[in-house]
Structure 1
Amino acid sequence: MGVRRLICFRRRRWSRYLCLLVFATVIYFIFQGTYLRALNNNSTDKLEIDGGDSIKVKHEKSLTILGVRSDDLLHYVPDKDGMFHCIDGSAKVPMRAVNDEYCDCPLDGSDEPGTDACPHARFYCEHNSKFLPSGKVNDGICDCCDGSDEWKIGLASVKVKGFPLSDVIQHAPCVDTCSKLVDREREDQRVRQIGLRLKQQYIARAQGHLSKNSQDIYGKQGEFYQLSKECFDHADYAASYHICPFNKVEQTQNGHMFKLGSKGQWDTSRVDKLVLVMMGGDRRGCPGDGRRTEIEFSCGLSNSITKLFEEEKCVYTVHFLTPAAC
């Protein structure tokens, strides 16, 4: 009887030990998982006190600096003392001074990429892949498709209160239009592909009609020659216009006809746009050399005028779509 009790006691004791061991193992793994999550969440703080190359890798994964291109984030890794160095090397400040709306790097504005505190700073729109001057940050106008440049919604909305809206200009609070931007880019690509095929037809029609002197006037391959043989009419609420590219531009208003330009030459200073300047217009009521018209050509599937406006007194701007510009 005594031996039996002793065996049962030992069995119960080992069962207790086994249960305690399993319980301790579970607690250990729970603790480890919690610790690793906390370490991952606080990786930015860890970077400021540790050293070595491994810091940069961890910091790049977790760091987000408003207004900075992802390729440039390396410049925003703090040193071992937690300091940020101006990219031009002119000064260093605590990391918390980045985007604090006080300009510590006045020469390059690198400490304020996400605010308008530095006049030479630039804000990067990640989804648009473009830079904005710092003055456009929180100015109430949505320049980034995701609205990230207008992060001070309350202040930005006040700045544009009462300003008219348009199809082009969107006021804060911004609506994310990045998906529409992608669709528009795809459509633009489709138009360019078709437009390039149409452009070849324009070039073929110019063959035999161009002299050595006229090649530069009508484009490198004579693609604008066909437009020089056509005229286009446009009207708005105030006046009507008769536009013959490379020849003449006329305006009729209140029964009076005004010449807005003749002939034409390319504005070679506008490397990003095709702009034909037609000068020698009517001088009545105009300063300087009189009226002139600037025709901005863009890629399109047909010849059409999309917009015409008087940009400044006696200077007229025409937005013109044509396959010749593709």
Structure 2
Amino acid sequence: MRILVASDHRYPAETGQGNGLRTHPQPSGAPSRVHDWLVKGLAELGHDVFYLLEKGAEAPLPPGVTLVTEPIQEVDIFHNTVSSLKPWVHTQHRFADDLSGAPPANWIFVSSSLARSHGSDRFVLNGIDPHNYLYSAHKEDYFLFLAAMQGRRLHHMYFNKGLDIALSLSQTAGVPLVVAGTTINTATFEHVQHMCRTHGATYVGDVRGSRKAELLAGARALIFPTRLNEGCPLVIAEALMSGTPVISSDKGPCPELISAEVGFVCANQHEYLHAIHHVDTIAPQACRDKALRDHHYLKMAADYVQEYEREIGSHHHAPPIYSTGYASDNRITSINR
């Protein structure tokens, strides 16, 4: 199959170790990283992949992936690109609260719960490359909160992600908490830093690459008390791939992604505290096995191939739209010509 996938970043989506205790213009690049892994997986499955990156690339693309900086028509399907001539699909990474009416039938959501909330049954879980992470059965004495603290839409994302809950839990339970993630502006960064300091947590700021992998692998658990109807939080897959259990809220896809053998889904403080005190009953290998089973980038790519085949077979073309409504998602490029 000849597949064109579009994204709005410069390849690769993630480089370096992060900015540390500084702001970052893009605190989270999760969708772009997923697209990088997707094209890699599609190529490894034997497909001809064209990666539409108008901002280009600063490193060689994976074998079998061809860089294009403008749309081409000689493909079987477009992904994240609108066409009136060929089948196309779009991945929706978040709840489209600004969407009026039902979503186009060719939208693919990133979790079953997100699809259901839009009246759809089309979803593919986000996948990651295990080679980008460290697996460790030995855990150090800290819990980890890792999230973007500010977004283009959600200026107080640290609240939406439940930083205050994680800080309160660590203080009540008497366990060390490491907080990672940064903001766009200085004022919000300083507020997050102050919250961590007053609760006795260690704030490390922006971490990426091997530094993030080390933090994930060493943590006794990831605390993820989100208040959002999330899509498919990449940090859950990252923690599990590292052999690290997840203690989450019961919002969005968390009950779908976190089973009893890899973590705890909590509805109140009592359940969170119970999880913290019993997290060592979770086997790191069980976490790793689930991540390899559910969140490997090759599984994600294979699942998208099934969706491509479904779309090609239906010959259905949704009405053109020109914005995903998600600031961190790639925009949809119109190529109705």
Same fold (TM over 0.5): no
Structure 1 length-normalised TM:
0.24
Which structure is higher in strand share? Answer: 1
Structure 2 length-normalised TM:
0.23
Which one has a bigger Cα radius of gyration?
1
